């Protein structure tokens, strides 16, 4: 308990015992900006899938008046809850479009969602009486520490406090912790590269973000763990030199896992990698590859995929 309490302090989050009712006004420091809630928000705009999914998981569908910049379809367990949500924009919605829905709270999955040409700068929203929140792992102006599942759970807890649904948040966290505990870390000492995008130069998961967090939970040694960043643009040479045992493919609507498979196989260099020749891939849908409620289920699914892979001992 003490460790959990200490972590939110580090992230500047409010410390509340789980399951307590929220006392308003509630003031938090979020990504370098002070936000005050007089009551639980009633009209929320969520930007990015991670924000939408987190609120849906807390049963807050009725409070969402509009969603923007979604990264893919909702997972099966949230699809029914999220059906019929009003889509404001394929990309980041403009400030006018956001304000048209008369929100009292905008929840952004990326800090750039609050730029002047997107939902609007946070001070300007505050002046209009609209609270704003940036998912802490995505904060760029204040560098977040290395991402851990505890930080993901802390965000769920904070949302629980903001919306005065602390019991639901605690239950969700407990459920995810149990799922995570059940994931058996692979003991084969396998190396892996998290291939997110890029053809000429690969964009890969590095040492400090969701990719690293998930790979560690799976017991995989991330080839690019030494780079202190969420993702990094790397060199095919470094990938080939490492000859990873497993390659994680991020499946996005604009760049699917299948396309990545084909690319890797067709390239004369990567085509020779053990992981490519033997099709040792783990697939994760894009929305699950950023910090959010889908990380744990994705880790569970990937552990299952990993367990099914036959990899000869070195």
Partner 1 sequence: MRRRPASFLASAGLVVLLLASATLAVTFGPADISAGDAWMTVLHHLRLADTAPLSPLRDAIVWELRLPRILAAAGVGAGLALAGTVMQVLTRNPLADPYLLGLSSGAALGAVGFLLAGMALLMPLGAFLGSLAALVLALAIARLLGGATPTRAILAGISIAALASAATSLLIFWSATGDSYREILSWLMGSLSGTTWGDTGLVALALVVCAPVILLSGRGLDAFAFGDAAAASLGIDIVRLRWTLLTATALLTGVMVAIGGAIGFVGLVVPHAVRLAVGSRHRVLLPASMLVGAVFMLWTDTAARSLFDPRELPVGIVTALVGAPAFLLILLRYRRIT
Binding site for partner 1 (CB under 8 A): 196-201, 203, 224, 226-227, 232-238, 240-241, 243, 252, 254-255, 268-269, 272-273
- Measured CA to CA, the distance from residue 111 to residue 115 in angstroms comes to 8
Question: If DSSP states are collapsed to H, E and C, what string results for 94-163?
Answer: CHHHHHHCCCCEEEECCHHHHCCCCCCCHHHHHHCCCEEEECHHHCCCCCCCCCCHHHHHHHHHHHHHHC
Cβ-based nearer residue to partner 1, 53 or 290: 290
Minimum distance from residue 159 beta carbon to partner 1 (Å): 23
Cβ-based nearer residue to partner 1, 101 or 259: 259
Cβ-based nearer residue to partner 1, 42 or 199: 199
Minimum distance from residue 155 beta carbon to partner 1 (Å): 20
The secondary structure element, H or E, covering residue 37 is: strand 33-37
Minimum distance from residue 240 beta carbon to partner 1 (Å): 5
Q: How far is CA 280 from CA 12, 74, 93, 102, in A?
A: 40, 26, 39, 49
Minimum distance from residue 274 beta carbon to partner 1 (Å): 8
Cβ-based nearer residue to partner 1, 40 or 236: 236
Residue 247 bridge partners (DSSP): 193, 281
Q: Which two tokens stand for residue 245?
A: 């045992």
Minimum distance from residue 27 beta carbon to partner 1 (Å): 32
Q: Which two tokens stand for residue 233?
A: 């643009």
Contact 151, 48 (CB under 8 A): no
Contact 208, 225 (CB under 8 A): no
State the first-to-last Cα distance of the chain, in angstroms, to the nearest integer.
40
Minimum distance from residue 282 beta carbon to partner 1 (Å): 19
Cβ-based nearer residue to partner 1, 26 or 92: 92
- The Cβ-side half-sphere exposure at 290, using a 13 Å CA radius, reads 21
Cβ-based nearer residue to partner 1, 177 or 236: 236
Minimum distance from residue 40 beta carbon to partner 1 (Å): 31
Cβ-based nearer residue to partner 1, 41 or 230: 230
Phi and psi of 90, rounded to 5°? -70, -40
């Amino acid at each position: 308990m003490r460790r959990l309490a200490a972590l939110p302090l580090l992230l500047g989050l409010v410390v509340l015992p789980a399951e307590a009712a929220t006392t308003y006004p509630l003031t938090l420091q979020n990504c370098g900006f002070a936000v005050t809630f007089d009551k639980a928000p009633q009209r929320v705009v969520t930007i990015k899938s991670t924000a939408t999914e987190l609120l849906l998981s807390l049963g807050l569908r009725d409070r969402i008046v509009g969603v923007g910049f979604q990264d893919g379809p909702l997972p099966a367990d949230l699809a029914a809850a999220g059906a019929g949500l009003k889509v404001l924009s394929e990309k980041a919605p403009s400030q006018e479009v956001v304000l048209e829905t008369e929100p009292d709270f905008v929840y952004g999955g990326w800090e750039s969602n609050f730029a002047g040409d997107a939902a609007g700068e946070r001070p300007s929203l505050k002046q209009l009486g609209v609270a704003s929140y940036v998912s802490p792992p995505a904060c760029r102006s204040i560098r977040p520490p290395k991402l851990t599942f505890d930080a993901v759970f802390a965000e769920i807890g904070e949302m629980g406090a903001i919306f005065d649904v602390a019991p639901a948040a605690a239950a969700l966290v407990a459920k995810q912790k149990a799922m995570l505990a059940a994931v058996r870390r692979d003991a084969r000492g396998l190396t892996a590269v998290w291939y997110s995008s890029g053809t000429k130069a690969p964009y890969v998961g590095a040492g400090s973000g969701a990719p690293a967090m998930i790979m560690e939970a799976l017991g995989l040694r991330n080839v690019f763990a030494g780079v202190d960043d969420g993702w990094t643009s790397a060199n095919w040479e470094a990938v080939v030199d490492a000859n990873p045992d497993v390659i994680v493919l991020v499946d996005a609507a604009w760049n699917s896992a299948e396309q990545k498979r084909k690319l890797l196989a067709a390239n004369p260099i990567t085509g020779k990698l053990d992981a490519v020749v033997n099709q040792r891939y783990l697939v994760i849908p894009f929305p699950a590859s950023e910090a959010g409620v889908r990380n744990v289920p994705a880790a569970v699914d990937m552990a299952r995929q990993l367990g099914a892979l036959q990899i000869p001992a070195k």
